[in-house]
Amino acid sequence: MMVFTLAAQGQGNTTPLRIIMIGAHPDDCDIDGGGTAILMASMGHAVKFVSVTNGDAGHQSQGGGALAKRRMAEAKEAGKRFGVTYDVLDNHDGELMPSLDVRLQVIRKIREWKADVVIAPRPNDYHPDHRYTGVLVQDAAYMVTVPNVAPDVAPLVKNPVFLYFQDGFQRPNPFRPDIVVDITPVIDKKIHAMAAHESQFFEWLPWIGGYAGEVPKDKSLWEPWLKKKMEREITEDLKKTLDKWYGSGRSASARFVEAFEVCEYGKQPSADDMRNIFPMVGK
């Protein structure tokens, strides 16, 4: 096949768009794209979260299908709070492989959502499930348009824009913030939605992170505590991009942000496309 086929694709999408975020575990999309999802949904985009694994391993004292069912219920509740639909695929947590079988699951999710935009982790990250989610979504790019692949679901007419969630890893190359979203206005809503994953944010992550003792006994303090925990210094790099898209000055007030990089394997969006995808940055 020829490289120029991609360049030849023009995509005239207008708002509202259909966005799908794909993470490895039930809570990944929430952390990396939850604020953006709230903003997008509130501005008219249809947003779906997908967890490629069922989360049946990441816990200190529970596991298996029993844990998976708890995680699915948490995801459902989180979706409600975010204003998105939330699907959990039934693949074992901690055992995700970039197999053809799971790639086809991903292709079907993207097609069924008629996605204009797909957001997923880069294929480098500290957790193998994250990395292989990145590989799987890359391997679904372009193939979502090929009719003979997964013929039981209609192919997309156009290859979506594929974006990467932000991460801090430098090798083999660092994340490049092509766009940064100021989620400060919705940070409390994001934290509230994230908090639906009780088994994650108040049980497993504190335990594996060695800070279980910090979790407040009083449940009413959980969300403020989690918000505190989510604070990150905003790097100069991110500030610059923020100002580029929002207009200078925005970085002065932003306290919480989410950033995204354009993946080379999907449609290459113009600046206008990006503003359609991220209407919160304004025209």
Per CB under 8 A, contacts with its own copies among 88-117 are: 88-90, 92-95, 97, 99-101, 103-104
> Which CB atom, from 25 or from 250, has the smaller least distance to its own copies?
25
Least distance between its own copies and beta carbon 248 (Å):
28
Residues 229 and 246: their CA atoms lie apart, in Å, by 26
* 65 forms part of the interface with its own copies (CB under 8 A): yes
Q: Which of 48, 59, 81, 239 lies at the binding interface for its own copies (CB under 8 A)?
A: 59
Is the torsion defined by CA of 150, 154, 158, 163 positive or negative? negative
| Tokens at 132, concatenated | 């292989």
Q: Which is nearer to its own copies, 53 or 246 (CB)?
A: 53
Judged by CB under 8 A, the residue of 18, 41, 42, 62 near its own copies is 62
**Partners of 163 in the beta sheet?**
119, 262
Stretch that binds its own copies, among 37-45, 177-185, 203-211, 233-241 (CB under 8 A): 203-211
* Farthest CA pair distance, the chain: 59
Which amino acid appears at position 95 of this protein? E
Assess contact for 267 and 158: CB atoms under 8 A.
Answer: yes
* Residue 169 burial by Cβ neighbours in a 10 Å radius (0-12, 13-18, 19+): middle
Tell me which stretch binds its own copies (CB under 8 A): 82-90, 181-189, 239-247, 273-281. Answer: 82-90
Q: What does the per-residue mask of binding to its own copies show for 13-42, with x meaning CB under 8 A?
A: -----------xx-xx--x-----------
